[in-house]
Amino acid sequence: MIRVGLTGGIGAGKSTVARTLTERGAYLIDADVIAREVVAPGTDGLTQLVEAFGEGILQPDGALDRAALAARAFVDEGQRKKLNGITHPLVGARAFELLEAAPADAIVLQDIPLLVENGSAPFFHLVVIVHADEDVRLARLTGQRGMPEEDARARIKSQASVEDRRAVADVWLDNSGTPDDLAALAAALWDERLVPYEGNVRNRICAPQPSEEVDVRPEWALQATRLTNRLRVVGGDTIADVVHVGPTAASAGRAPDVLEFEVRLADGKAPADVTALLADGGFPERSAGVHANADPGRAVTISVS
C-alpha cells in the first residue's frame, strides 16, 4: 500500500485528477466528503459549529448552510482556526477509519484541500499538487460555482501560497490547459509512477537508479528537505538525525541524479530496528544497512548507522 496526498488551491482542478485516478483503481478518501458527513444534521460536529458560529449558519431544515458558515469563518485568521479546530479532528478520525479498511495492495488517494496548511505532507509516500493560476481559479469559482467574488478571493487568500505548495510537491500537475489535458497527465502519473511504486513498496523492491551524471539541479535542495522530513516521520523515535550528503548536497560539479542521506539512529537503536519502518515508508533495504527509494520517480540512497 502507498498513500498519496492530493491537494491544490480551491478551483485548481483536484476533482478531475481524483476522478481520473479513482477510475483507474485508486482507493479514494475525500476529505471534503468526510467534512460533510461529520457535520450532517444530528451530528456532534454540527452542534459544535452552531455553538461556535451561531444559529445563522443553519438552513431552515436544520442542515448546515455552508455559504453562511464560510462568510463567518473566513473573515479572519482567528475564525478560520476556530472552524478548523472543530472539523479537522473529526475529519481526521473518520479518514483513519477508512484508511484502516483499505486493501493491502491499495493506492490510497487522500484528497485533502488543506494538506499543506495542516503540515501533513511528510506522512504520505507522495504528494501531488494540482495548480492553476489565481485568475483562472477565481473565474471558475465565480462562473462555474456561482461564488461571490469577495468570498472567492477570501477563500483563495486563506489557503497556502504557491511557494508553500511547491515546497511539498513531489508531483506538480499544471492545469493551465483543458480538463482532458489534466486527465491525461493524471493517467500517465498512475501508469508510470503510482502503480510501479505501490508494487515496489509491497514487494520490498528498490527502483532502478541512474548512473549518468547530470549538471547541478536547483530542485535538489528542496527535494532533499521534503525527503528529510518524510524520513524523520517514517523512522519516528528510532532516528536521531537525517543528513543530506554526497554530490547532490554539495551542489558543485556534475553528479548522478541520486539524493544521498545518512540516517543516524537514536541511542540504543540498531539498523534492524528501522528496516521495516523504512520499507513501509517507501525505502526498502538494498543491502545491509543501505536503503533506496521504491519510487521510480525519485532516486534515493540511504545509509543507516
Alpha helices for 147-301 (secondary structure H): 149-158, 162-168, 179-189, 195-203, 219-235, 247-250, 271-280
**pLDDT at residue 93, rounded to an integer:** 93
In the structure grid, which three cell numbers stand for residue 149, read together? 467574488
pTM above 0.85, yes or no: yes
Pairwise CA distance, residues 111 & 39, whole Å: 18
CATH 3.40.50.300 location in the chain: 2-199
Segments of the chain assigned to CATH 3.30.460.10: 213-304
Give the 3-state secondary structure of residue 169.
coil
Model pLDDT for residues 218-227, shown as the tens digit of each residue: 999 999 999 9
List Cβ neighbours of 150 (8 Å cut-off, separation of 6 or more): none
pLDDT at 140: 79
CATH of domain 213-304: 3.30.460.10
pLDDT at 80: 87
Q: Taking a C-beta distance cutoff of 8 angstroms, is the pair 113, 32 a contact?
A: yes
Tally the C-alpha atoms within 13 A of residue 107's C-alpha that lie toward its C-beta.
Answer: 22
Q: Return the ∠ at Cα 2 (arms to 193 and 12), rounded to 5°.
A: 65
> Residue 93: how many CB atoms within 10 A of its CB?
11
Helical pair 134-143 and 149-158, crossing angle rounded to 10 deg: 140
Cell of 284: 526498502
**188 Rama sector, left if φ>0, alpha if ψ -120 to 50, beta otherwise:** alpha
Q: What is the CATH number of domain 2-199?
A: 3.40.50.300
3 state DSSP class of 255: strand
Give the C-alpha separation, 55 to 69, whole Å: 10
**pLDDT value, residue 156:** 80
176 touches 12 (CB < 8 A): no
- Residues in the chain, pLDDT under 70: none
253 in Cβ contact with 247 (< 8 Å): yes
Contact status, residue 213 vs residue 256, Cβ threshold 8 Å: yes
C-alpha cell, 126 = 507522495
Q: What is the pLDDT of residues 111-152, one digit of tens each?
A: 998 899 889 999 999 999 999 887 777 877 787 777 888 777
Helix (H) or strand (E) holding 127: strand 126-131
**Number of neighbours of residue 42 by Cβ within 10 angstroms:** 8
Nearest of 156, 78, 164 to residue 121 by alpha carbon? 164
What confidence score (pLDDT) does residue 88 get? 87
Quote the CA–CA distance of 144 and 152 in Å, as a whole number: 12
For residue 61, what pLDDT is reported? 94
Q: Which pLDDT value is given to residue 148? A: 80
